[in-house]
Amino acid sequence: MRWILVIALLPCRSVLGQAPLPSPFDDKGARIVDLAWPLNEKSPFWPGDNYTPFRLETIATLKEDGVSSKAFSMPEHLGTHIDAPNHFENDRPGVDAIPAERLFGPGVVIDLAVKCEMDPDAMLTVADIADWEKSHGAIPRGAIVLLQTGWGRHATNPARYQNRDVMGKMHFPGFSAEAAEWLVREREVRGIGLDTLSIDRGLSTKFEVHHVINKAGRYGLENVAHLDQLPATGFGLIVAPIKIEGGTGGPTRIWAVVPKGPGEPAR
């Protein structure tokens, strides 16, 4: 439970030479960035035959029943959500069985927005990671690596977010399988995520990145919001998925605990 203690309880010791991470309870030293989109009928989801939009209905009202209550229905993989290790691999943990300590960790943002603006089919490569590490230092072991593609600005526009061509193929960025393998093997990441529909790029048909990550017992985070509000490194992440027994994923709140800059007011 090391990172629960580091992020939530202590002033945070440095990790592999990284600056100490802030505590979410430190009003003067930290700010919280919410990385989840609100759930509603426009929430993005994978365009499969059995996938349906988010639905919210009233089942009781204060006027009629003395209490207000609603019911919702949705596929697991809608809006900001987690892909559990059993999403693409048998005999891997469901979302309820992901160890709690793996849902906390140092955060990293790799900004690939310029590359993705020029090529919507772009993928994060091992060379891109090497370039990032030249500027920011080695990715901490046990980090959660987030890829900013710039695609999040289209999240409320389903047609633009999917970016289909005349043949119906989707075009949006993602990780490469080689980069995912490297992050698991060389940096022992706890999970990866990004601001698109899938950790695999839109053109993928074999979903190699999902298989790499899930086979290694790691998770993916998709449709992550507000990555442009985060620094490249030096912050903590808290990942809080809904706990569905045997679930392959589910809606997820994600918070970044970011050091405040000079002059930022206390909460």
Which residues are tagged catalytic? 87
Instruction: Report helix, strand or coil for 176.
Output: coil
Measured in whole angstroms, the distance separating CA 191 from the mean position of its chain's CA atoms is 8
Structure tokens at 28: 């003067």
Please give the torsion angle defined by the CA atoms of residues 225, 227, 229 and 232, in that order, rounded to the nearest 10 degrees.
160
Distance, CA of 257 to CA of 10 (rounded, Å): 13
Please give the torsion angle defined by the CA atoms of residues 188, 94, 87 and 145, in that order, rounded to the nearest 10 degrees.
-30
Q: Find the distance separating the first CA and the last CA of the chain, reported in whole Å.
A: 27
Number of Cβ within a 10 Å radius of residue 98: 23
Give residue 223's region: left, alpha or beta (phi > 0; psi -120 to 50): left
Pair 175, 112: CB distance under 8 Å: no
Strand 123-124 to 174-175 pairing? parallel
Residues pairing with 236 in the sheet = 106, 257
Give residue 38's region: left, alpha or beta (phi > 0; psi -120 to 50): beta
Q: Which residue is associated with the tokens 């075009």?
A: 171
